[in-house]
Amino acid sequence: MTGEARSRRARRSGVTGRRAEWLAILWLGLKGYRPLARRFGGKGGEIDLVMKRGRTIAFVEVKARGAMDEALIAITPEKHRLVELRIRQWLALNPWAMEHHLRADAVFLAPWRWPRHVPAIAELGL
């Protein structure tokens, strides 16, 4: 794959990811969540969404794939470890959040399927 083809693929992937995050915000908003942060972090791992409902703060990983099965297996242990590092950074900047119930959630998206929200997809080792 040439550098130009790789760049086009990365741009397309970025657009798909941003669109998926907006759909996840809308879906979770219908369930009573409100966004606190989006795309917190950077290279090496980021938190896609930080959402709040009542006394719960959910750190949400959003995965959009061609099929729901592909989306469900897209969160690897390594990805979870990197996201946990970003969660710690976010909590250091937002110490008020430690008084809330903290949870790692996921929203999975696939074409022509309803989004699937999975609360508490993984234990937080904080």
Regarding predicted confidence, which is higher, 36 or 6?
36
CATH classification of 3-122 is 3.30.930.10, yes or no?
no
3-state secondary structure 37-62: EEEEEECCEEEEEEEEECCEEEEEEE
Rounded Cα gap, residues 44 and 105, in angstroms: 19
Whole-number Å distance between alpha carbons of 125 and 73 = 21
The structural domains of the chain, with segments of one domain joined by +, span 3-122
The set of long-range contacts for 68-77, using a CB threshold of 8 Å and a minimum separation of 24, is 68/108, 68/110, 68/113, 68/116, 70/110, 71/108, 71/109, 71/110, 71/116, 72/108, 74/108, 75/106, 75/121, 75/122
Give helix then strand counts, H and E, for the chain: 3, 5
pTM: 0.82
Q: Does the pLDDT of residue 58 top 70, yes or no?
A: yes
DSSP class of residue 31 equals: T
Q: Give residues with Cβ within 8 angstroms of 31, minimum separation 6.
A: 53, 117
Number of residues assigned to the chain: 126
What does pLDDT average to over the chain? 85
What pLDDT sits at residue 12? Answer: 58
In this predicted structure, what is the pLDDT of residue 14? 61
pLDDT (average), residues 43-58 = 91
